[in-house]
A and B are shown apart, each in its own frame.
Chain A
């Protein structure tokens, strides 16, 4: 079955440091890939997405590139801020033969990011 593996956490950085959170996936088809962020006490917010190979999703300074050859979707940010402290989830959604997405997201285990001033 489908699965998503994220790098072991938690991750602790100083403000303005470079961030990478690794994500690799296993899927039988051709999935869409997502990064979600969860702030304390809140639900999940979509951070960025990519729907086909070599697509680069970007938002709020975060970027991730859909790498089909390495089945990866690593999240990066050049300069993190204290406000980026949250839990980050990598996720995928499979599609059927007709191209329609199934209504199921498969999530990685989440990576806790803490940024200190």
Chain B
């Protein structure tokens, strides 16, 4: 079974630009979560999508948004980039259902975003 894939793996942007990152979950997984990893703040939850609906949202400004498609693939968008948005953005998928009482997430390799 293929793992979680993220594209692109590396990205360089300048302040004020916007960026879209893509995540393809493991086949059959309907839940996709996004995380931001920085040296200073560690791993922080951005949002979760399940069946094309945002189910949870972390404490990030509205410049950070996402969506999920009917095939469970997900994208996240960051508008008006700031230097502080430089980070590793990780996507994770889960086959979470009401029958599965825990939230075992499988992570992709991440997209390294550098804002200049």
Contacts and interface: CB of A to CB of B under 8 A. Distances in A.
Asked if A pairs with B, the answer is: yes
Contact of A32 (B31, B48, B102, B108): B102
A105 B55 CA distance: 13
A46 B104 contact: yes
A49 B50 contact: no
A100 B33 CA distance: 16
B45 interface: yes
A109 B35 CA distance: 14
B72 interface: no
A49 B104 contact: yes
A99 B109 contact: no
A108 B94 CA distance: 20
A114 interface: no
Contact of B103 (A89, A103, A110): A103
Given A107-B43, A110-B42, A99 B108 contact: no
Contact of B101 (A100, A105, A106, A107): A100
Interface residues of B, number: 29
Nearest to A106: B45
Interface string A27-52: 00000101010000011111001010
A105 B42 contact: no
A45 B107 contact: yes
With a 10 A CB-CB cut-off, give which of A42, A43, A98 has the most chain B CB atoms: A43
A104 B47 CA distance: 8
Interface of A: 32, 34, 36, 42-46, 49, 51, 89, 93, 95, 98-110
13 contacts: A32-B102, A46-B105, A51-B102, A99-B98, A100-B96, A100-B98, A102-B48, A103-B105, A104-B45, A105-B33, A105-B105, A106-B45, A108-B42
